[in-house]
Structure 1
Amino acid sequence: MGMQSCLKDALPFAGMVMVECGEIGMVTLSKAAMNTGMSNFVFVVYYNALGTFILLPYYIFHTYRFKRPPLTFSLLCRFFLLGLLGICLVQIFAFMGINYSSPTLAAALGNLVPAFTFLLAIISRMEKLDLQRSSSQAKALGTMVAISGAFMITLYKGPPILMGASPSNSPHPLLLSQQSNWVLGGLLIAMTCFASSIWIIFLAATIREYPDKMTIVFFYCCFGTIQCVIVSLIVERNPSAWTLRPGIEMIATLFSAIFACVFRSSVLTWCLQKKGPVFVAVFKPMGIVIAMIMGVMFLGDTLHLGSLIGSFIIAVGFYAVIWGQAKEKDMAVDKICRLESSTQNTPLLQNIITEDIG
């Protein structure tokens, strides 16, 4: 029984660790593909379309194998909005931001997701906030600290601390950045984080109403792909941009389709059902170290003082929020134990009183 309980807790943790590692790999590959001239709009369309086609046979098998709850028009509208938030807006803004900056900045600002998710959870009443309790104070203060750290990373580079490989010495010249606009990239990624937090809250609410995870994943990926196609056809007018060249572009598209559409979407949806939105959001800080190492080694990025200080500030705020949530969980467990103890003692007192009367 104890082993099953540990395994039950370990599987969501392991799944989210794999998601964060794979996400940094996907971002790095996509940056390399865009540095060869691949349009970020075309990239989003191709890998989401391929991922949806990969999901299609699994969805058909799932529909015939298991009894699916009936679909309603309101549910289809929810899936449409999930695709708009989680795929169309989030991914287009994210890859535009990465194209203007770097995967390291994207990973650092990704720490805004727990802060935004916490704020939205309070607004939607998924989280309770009582400022008289130390746990609530820690969560509120941690959220503000995390946001201030993200602004520091975006607006202040600072002197270089660790120089990346120069274009002439880099073993991976295709991975070197071709354009850089730190502030614009940071603002786009910050917008991505906010939209991602809305998506997490909305997806968690949808899972409560419709618990069939496979159906949710397939439909929001399908709707999101259609939306990306429409947006990309409007924005990307150059016909040659739609040519998928062999090499890094094809590798990035294939990896992103398998990871982002199939693995990441399925694991995130499952973890949201098992653990809730805050659990999913708190794994974002793990990507900073991975992104910094990969950015310096493969992209020729330079590690600046602003990124280091801002990441530290964000981490402090993040762990303050986690401490507050852990303390609230301990308080809830203690309350349940006290209630169970009082319930067990009540029949004993009643028996003693009955015996005395008799």
Structure 2
Amino acid sequence: MTGGRYCYRDVLPLTAMVTMECINVALNTLFKAATLKGMSYHVFVAYAYAVAALILLPSPFFSHRSRVLPPVNFSIISKICLLGLIGCASQIVGYTGINYSSPTLSSAISNLIPAFTFILAIIFRMEKVALRSSSSQAKIIGTVVSISGAFVVVLYKGPPVILTSFPSISLRQPLSSPRSNWVIGGLFLTTEYILVPMWYIVQAQIMKEYPAELTVVFFYNLIVSILAAIVGFITEPNWSAWRIKFDIALLSIVCSGVFGSCLNNSVHTWAIRLKGPVYVAMFKPLSIVIAVAMGVMFLGDTLYLGSVVGATIISIGFYTVMWGKAKEEMVDESEIDSLEALSAHRIPLLQNHKKQGV
């Protein structure tokens, strides 16, 4: 029983989050390749989230049958609408940033998410911080170390460690798009990664009131699709932009709808309910390590010393935070066990007292 609980609460979330970061890096690269073929990112967001909403359409019916859920009130509806608004804005500015820059820059700037999420979680009292506690010190130090490692990868190149001689596939081209403007792209991406922690916090609040991940993600995807379509019709009034051919654009939309908007959001929502927003945010620094590794293996990129050093620093910071979270959970579980033992000890005493009274 203990092993199954450990697997569900620790091993499964860890595996799922690492997998999702790998998928996100691949989807960003695929999206960049599709935009170079002329696809509008406004059209992309509307279609991708519509695909995800269509896949999750049966979820509200199954959720109500499988568990007892509280009634849907105005508070829950308003928070889901706010979640959709934040999500739509973050997706549009994020894909705009990738369109102007590259998936690598997106992965690099995403390392700001843990710091923003940690600060917001403290403000909303979703994370405990006691400066004298070793678990809190580990979370703070680990967050700073991870972000520092990310900046090492971005700012320090160093000599090459592994030189690849084979030709790279066409997906490498998006990293040096003629339209690239790293300053504008960086500003858009920074805005996205300020909105993402807000998404985590609102999602965590919704999960407390209405713990049905797939139902919430369905309505979220539906709202984002509608909002993105409205924005898209304003920015892309030409109907030819909404016609998708059977090429990489369609592949990008389907993959992003299935693995991004549907699977990724569902897994993130589940992990937020199970482990909290800071736990989910701490996996973002891994995205740049994954981006570098995938670039070397699949795109023929050269591996530089700065990437190796930065990846090592990110890993140290990541595991430091994981250690702090694990120790904090152990303390919480021991407190719960002690309270249960105390209550179990009091019940026989009360029963004996009643028997003596009789």
TM-score by length of 2: 0.81
How much has 1:216 moved relative to structure 2? 1.1
Q: Secondary structure at the match of 1:84?
A: helix
CA–CA distance in structure 1, aligned partners of residues 164 and 156 of structure 2: 18
Per mean C-alpha deviation after superposition, the further-off stretch among 43-52 and 6-15 is: 6-15
**2:241 partner letter:** A
Per mean C-alpha deviation after superposition, the further-off stretch among 71-80 and 200-209 is: 71-80
How much has 1:343 moved relative to structure 2? 6.5
Q: Cα distance 1:256–1:162, how it changes in 2: closer, same or farther (>3 A)?
A: farther
Q: Secondary structure at the match of 1:56?
A: coil
CA–CA distance in structure 1, aligned partners of residues 232 and 212 of structure 2: 30
Whether 1:51 aligns to 2:48 is: no
Q: In angstroms, what is the RMSD of aligned CA positions?
A: 3.5
Per mean C-alpha deviation after superposition, the further-off stretch among 102-111 and 331-340 is: 331-340
**Alignment partner of 1:173 out of 153, 170, 174:** 170
CA–CA distance in structure 2, aligned partners of residues 300 and 38 of structure 1: 25
2:224 aligns with 224
**2:170 partner letter:** P
Contact 1:158 1:305 (8 Å CA) reproduced = yes
Could you tell me which runs of 5 or more consecutive residues in structure 2 were left unpaired when the two chains were aligned: 351-358
1:282 aligns with 282
Q: Secondary structure at the match of 2:57?
A: helix
Q: What is the number of equivalent residue pairs in this alignment?
A: 349
How much has 1:31 moved relative to structure 2? 1.7
- What is the aligned-residue identity percentage? 45
Whether 1:104 aligns to 2:104 is: yes
Q: Cα distance 1:239–1:336, how it changes in 2: closer, same or farther (>3 A)?
A: closer
**2:40 partner letter:** S
- 1:81-106 CA distances to partner (integer Å, 9 max, x unpaired)? 111112x1221122222223332332
Q: Secondary structure at the match of 2:205?
A: helix
CA–CA distance in structure 2, aligned partners of residues 137 and 237 of structure 1: 53
Contact 1:59 1:215 (8 Å CA) reproduced = yes
Contact 1:201 1:277 (8 Å CA) reproduced = yes
1:179-194 to 2 correspondence within 5 Å?
179=178, 180-194=180-194
Contact 1:104 1:295 (8 Å CA) reproduced = no
**1:128 partner letter:** K
**1:85 partner letter:** I
CA–CA distance in structure 2, aligned partners of residues 153 and 93 of structure 1: 24
1:238-257 to 2 correspondence within 5 Å?
238-257=238-257
**2:160 partner letter:** I
Per mean C-alpha deviation after superposition, the further-off stretch among 193-202 and 300-309 is: 300-309
TM-score by length of 1: 0.81
Q: Cα distance 1:197–1:298, how it changes in 2: closer, same or farther (>3 A)?
A: same
**1:47 partner letter:** A
How much has 1:109 moved relative to structure 2? 3.1
- 1:181-216 CA distances to partner (integer Å, 9 max, x unpaired)? 334333333322221111111101111111232321
Whether 1:38 aligns to 2:39 is: yes
Per mean C-alpha deviation after superposition, the further-off stretch among 298-307 and 250-259 is: 298-307
Could you tell me which runs of 5 or more consecutive residues in structure 1 were left unpaired when the two chains were aligned: 351-358
**2:193 partner letter:** C
1:353 aligns with none
1:269 aligns with 269
Q: Cα distance 1:79–1:343, how it changes in 2: closer, same or farther (>3 A)?
A: closer
Per mean C-alpha deviation after superposition, the further-off stretch among 104-113 and 226-235 is: 104-113
